[in-house]
Structures are given as structure tokens and as C-alpha cells.
Amino acid sequence: MICVQNFTKRYGSRDVVKNISFTAKDGAITGFIGHNGAGKSTTIKAITGVIRPTDGSITINGIDVVKEAQKAKYQFGYVSDSPDHFLRLTGIEYLNFMADIYDTAAQGRTEFIENYAKRFGIYDALNNRIHSYSHGMRQKIMILGALIHDPSVWILDEPLTGLDPQAAFELKNMMREHAGKGKSVFFSTHVLEVAEKLCDEICIIKNGELLYTGTLDDLKATHKSQASLENIFLELTDTKE
């Protein structure tokens, strides 16, 4: 579970994120949506400990990400919005490196790599260097590296970007499977159709302010019964793309 309470991030005199609170619950997929510059990436960076909150607190499974940073980092797997990392390593070297960081047992990592690399269709490319991978293949290997220690919390920043249809299908199934085990998935996306079909709960942010947090059904109940998430989002943010 992720619990964000009264989180503010300020740069100089400017509040990039303004006193927001929400919970990404266990057993649920929570979608984080908003336009570019709305504060999504800043919030995710604070949740993962990349930046420190100016005010407020963030806990993961009850562990404060500032006060107990290392312990908190063991609780989650994080996929950033850029897959261009560790390009000189082979895929298998990268996965073993990530498994070593999290003290993943040899048998557990071997089973994970074989299972999920095959699901993603990159098992035969694991001995190739990551710099030779396409963007989509790099995204797949970064996802596997983030999840190899079987974290209870998944934090995914635009994880479907660049994935082929089969890999996107597999990742969405993996997200459902993870939530189905009573664990939590928190992900940002610009693809509102995906969020509508996949998410149990939604957080909508605009200009650093949280406009809504709760279930999609409750959100729709306050709007026209046939309104799509896309229409509701555009109405709430008063912006047309």
C-alpha cells in the first residue's frame, strides 16, 4: 500500500505539487492520470525516494520513504518512463544485477526470468547487449528488472509506452495477477481507455492539485451515466488535447 499524506513539493516559491493526499490500496490497480506537467512525475519521484517532499509524508507498507529510505525501497519495484539504462550490459547481466541488489535467491530469479522473459518474448535475446535492443525490448527488460524481487508494490510510470500489442497484453495481465494476490499496482498513463478498463481506482491531478481520488464507478456516478473516463477527464481538467 502507498499512502501519500499532504504531500507538497516546492521549488523556490513555486508549488509544483500542492498538498495532495491519496492511497493506492492493496488488492487494487490505481491509475494516476493528468496532462503533461500536472505533477505526476514529481509525485512518483517522491514516492520512490528520488526527491524529498517539501511538506507531508509518504509511506509504503507503513514505512516512511524519507526516514527509512532503504527499507522502503525493498517494498516496491519501480519502472521509470525511460528505458535507456545500463545499455552496455546484456539482458541477463542486468537481470542478475537487479536480483543481486535485492538478494533474490538463485532459484527464484531463474524461474522468474524464464517465465516472464518468455511471456514478453525476449528470452532468446537475453544474451544480447541492451544497447542493441529496440525501445520496446528495453522497456520489457526494465520491467523485468524492477519486478524480479517480487515486490508487493508496483510503481509504473507510463509502462505501456513502446510495447508491442502482445507485450502490452501480458503486462496488463501481470498487473491484474499482482493485484489479485492482494498486492498493489500504481501506474501513470496517458491512455485513458486503458485506465478505464484496467483500474479499480483513479487519481486525477491538474496543475499539482488532486481533483479526484476514488473508484471509477463513484466518479461516473457524479457525471452522466454514459460518460467515458476520457470525457470526464476533459471536463474535470477543462482542457482539450
Task: Match 525501445 to its residue by C-alpha cell.
Answer: 135
Same domain for 19 and 46: yes
Same domain for 241 and 181: yes
Same domain for 127 and 95: yes
Mutual orientation of helices 135-147 and 106-119 as an angle, nearest 10°?
A: 150
Same domain for 110 and 35: no
pLDDT, position 221: 84
Is the CB of residue 164 less than 8 Å from the CB of residue 136? yes
Kindly list the distances between the CA atom of residue 93 and the CA atoms of 43, 126, 145, in Å, as whole numbers in the listed order: 31, 8, 10
Which CATH number fits the domain that encloses residue 189?
A: 3.40.50.300
Q: Which of 117, 150, 183 is the last residue of a domain?
A: 150
Percent with pLDDT over 90 in the chain:
79
Same domain for 210 and 228: yes
Distance between CA atoms of 10 and 145, rounded to whole angstroms? Answer: 31
Q: What is the mean pLDDT of residues 154-169?
A: 90
Label residue 117 exposed, middle or buried (CB < 10 Å: 0-12, 13-18, 19+).
Answer: buried
Q: What is the DSSP letter of 131?
A: G
Same domain for 160 and 69: yes
pLDDT, position 226: 67
Tell me: pLDDT of 93 over 90: yes
Same domain for 143 and 156: no
Mean pLDDT of the chain: 93
Q: Which of 150, 180, 206 is the last residue of a domain?
A: 150
Digit-coded pLDDT (tens) for 110-155: 999 999 999 999 999 999 999 999 999 999 999 999 999 999 999 9
pLDDT, position 241: 45
Tell me: pLDDT of 106 over 70: yes
pLDDT, position 227: 80
Q: Which of 118, 150, 182 is the last residue of a domain?
A: 150
Same domain for 61 and 43: yes
Distance between CA atoms of 113 and 119, rounded to whole angstroms? Answer: 10
Digit-coded pLDDT (tens) for 181-240: 999 999 998 888 889 999 999 999 999 999 999 998 888 888 766 688 888 888 888 754
Comparison of pLDDT for 231 and 27, the residue scoring more: 27
Same domain for 92 and 68: no
Number of domains in the chain: 2
Same domain for 86 and 61: no
Write out the residue range of the structural domain in which residue 209 sits.
1-75+152-164+171-241
Same domain for 94 and 160: no
Same domain for 118 and 176: no
